[in-house]
Amino acid sequence: MFTKLAEVEQRFEELGSQLEDPKVYGDPGKLQKVSKERKSLQEIVETFREFRKVEEEINGNQELLHDGDRELAELASEELPGLQEKKAELEQKLKLLLLPKDPLDDKNVILEIRAGAGGEEAALFASDLLRMYGRYAESKGWKVELMSESLASAGGYKEVVISLSGGAVYSTLKYEGGVHRVQRVPVTESQGRIHTSTVTVAVMPEADDVDVDIDEKDLQIDRFRSSGPGGQSVNTTDSAVRITHIPTGLVVQCQDERSQIKNKAKAMKILRARLYEKKLSEQQEQMSESRRSMVGSGDRAEKIRTYNFPQNRVSDHRIGLTLRKLDRFIDGDMDELIDALKAYYQAEALKGQNQ
């Protein structure tokens, strides 16, 4: 590991020298590439340097234990346990930082929320989840864009799709995909009985043109007039767009913009993300069972979390963590659970690497 860390530090220094080179500085494309690579190595190098500094302090204190000065030896003896604990923490952090990085981590996300079992209550909870992710995105400084929506007649959403863009969006939200279960008393329930409903969430990395090649000949594009719940007219022009990808049968529909061009662009963005997700799922199916369990299946059919409103409880079933602060969590205060999920899957990946 330490040989690898020394190589990373050397590369970090080389990139720093390149940034001072006028040829690199004068080439915006090259400058951006070098800056990005150097930034990706910065945390590893800083942690490695802190590790070496702590190691030097430990060696220095151990020497003081045997140099004959009783007072200094006592001070060194008091400091050593804390330094050794710090060294162990930094070593563990370095192991995690050296894990192979998920190439999708820096991508933006297409987030799809669909009402599942539970009828009207499921549609209302889909609306609650949309608000929750929107509030969380706001706290992170991400940009949120509504891509597509299908409203339920009694309120909420049958389906809603949003785009989230910013720093490390996919790496933060990639474990949110799956079935989210809610337990609460619906507004329409006169007897006060608790109902259980479900909503599915899909987290799809936004695909670039190079990720998915779409042949225009494989697309059937239909244009029609936008409409709202109950057939109410939303638009008086044929601006809505439905795109069918003939080879896979995937269908995407967008009608939220007044411009046909904008609706088509949004529909293509969603289609590209869904095709990319399909491609990734097929690749994952070819992995060994151990590798698949290590990275997590991301299967949207898997029940991942329960939101229990009467008990103000949110429980993640994958890591066995329960938080008694559902009121804050549903308002976008999600970091504690998301950080715990990241730590769990990092530990699983580390175990897989050591086997």
- Looking at the chain, list the stretches that DSSP marks H as alpha helix, in order from N- to C-terminal side: 2-19, 22-25, 28-64, 70-97, 120-140, 169-173, 260-285, 289-295, 326-329, 335-354
Chain mean pLDDT for the chain? 85
Q: Are residues 233 and 308 in the same domain?
A: yes
SS3 category, 205: strand
* Cβ atoms of 240 and 168 closer than 8 Å: no
pLDDT in tens, 283-340: 666 544 433 443 343 344 568 999 999 999 999 999 999 999 999 999 999 999 999 9
Look at residue 156 and tell me whether its pLDDT is greater than 50.
yes
122 lies in the same domain as 228: yes
In a domain, 103, yes or no: no
Output the pLDDT for position 262: 85
Pair 125, 222 in one domain? yes
Mark whether 306 and 210 lie in a shared domain: yes
Q: What's 236's domain CATH number? A: 3.30.70.1660
Better-predicted residue by pLDDT, 336 or 263: 336
- Listed residues 66, 97, 128: the one ending a domain: 97
pLDDT of residue 222: 84
Are residues 12 and 130 located together in one domain of the fold? no
Same domain? 120 vs 78: no
The domain boundary residue, chosen from 97, 129, 144? 97
pLDDT digits (tens, 9 = 90+) for 8-31: 899 999 999 998 888 888 888 888
What distance in Å separates the CA atoms of residue 198 and residue 309, rounded to the nearest whole number? 14
**Domain limits at 39?**
2-97
- What is the rounded average pLDDT of the residues 226-239? 55
How many domains would you assign to the chain? 2
Q: Are residues 93 and 113 in the same domain?
A: no
Residue 50: pLDDT above 90?
Answer: yes
Residue 186 pLDDT > 90: no
* Residue 235 in domain: yes
Residue 287 and residue 206 share a domain: yes
CATH of the domain at 48: 1.20.58
**Distance from C-alpha of 41 to C-alpha of 37, rounded to nearest angstrom:** 7
Final residue in a domain of this structure, among 76, 97, 118 = 97
What is d(CA 94, CA 43) in angstroms, rounded to the nearest whole number?
9
Q: How is residue 54 written in tokens?
A: 């702590």
Quick check: is 328 in a domain? yes
Residue 104 belongs to a domain:
no
- What does the radius of gyration of the chain's CA atoms come to, in whole angstroms? 26
Evaluate whether residue 39 is within a structural domain: yes
Q: Which residue has the higher pLDDT, 210 or 344?
A: 344
Task: Give residue 220's identity as a one-letter amino acid code.
Answer: Q
